[in-house]
Structure 1
Amino acid sequence: MKNVTILLLSAFAVLSFSSCSSEDNDDSSIIGTWEISALRVGVEADINGDDIFNLNLLNEIDCNYNEVLTFDTEGLMTTMTDYNPKLDIRLNDSDDYMFAVECGEGIIGSAGAYTSEDLQNYILNGDTLTIILENEVDVYNEDFTEVIGTLTLTKVYTRQ
């Protein structure tokens, strides 16, 4: 069996821009507030046991998870995020993924400058902002002693 552990740290995700580029992005189009609307690792899951499988893990976790990005006209980006859930994913011998979630409590925030170069790493399509973090999710062996692979974390935000 394989295990996967991810700690969804908003500040890290925002500052580690490793996604596909979009030539249409410019400084003015991203100005505003963006709220997370999807969180994906490329695997459908039924974490909450309702027999409905979703690619969007936000539809499956019972944690209070909210993440908001704000870009201002002065080149400052701020984040406010509920403490992120810890998500463990196991791939059993039948190639079925098994998920376990541990919720956190509290809110974390950060602020930092952004540049036009940083924005090239976002995919901006109207009122949807997507950040794709390649190799963000470590895949561990059964006893979590060895990383045996990675998954891509995709975060989708909607303009508020």
Structure 2
Amino acid sequence: MDMKTLRVEALRRVIGPLSQKDFADQHDLDASYLSQILNGHRGLGEKAALNLEQKIGLAPGVLVNPGGYGSNVIEGEFTRHEVVREQSPAYQAMLGIASPRAIAIIDKLARAAAKGKLKESDLVLLEGIAGLLEKANSEKP
């Protein structure tokens, strides 16, 4: 197989059981672009693979070089979320106690921050909201 085909197969494994539309929506991708790549109407070159890795939040090499480090990640050694969060002890601790919805919201915020879509004023506001929620919920029996 050539490298572009290997990259498409790696992308399919990253998408996993999600539909193309759900995956695109979850990662703020254009669903038609994703469909074109997966159906062979558009190649997945190195630059496009690198951009997708960054948008999705994958470790470097998962799509750019699927025969190297990336193939181990997507073939079951780690899940996508573990790759993204492997350096975050706070995220690991939260997994055992937070609801799935809370985790999904935090993931969405993390993706937006990683893409530079949150301004400093947004972060200050989010920090304030988190503090207020923490205080309000700690006062409940």
TM (norm. structure 1) is 0.26
Structure richer in strand, relative to its length? 1
* Greater relative contact order (CA < 8 Å, ≥ 6 in sequence): 1
TM (norm. structure 2) is 0.29
Structure richer in helix, relative to its length? 2
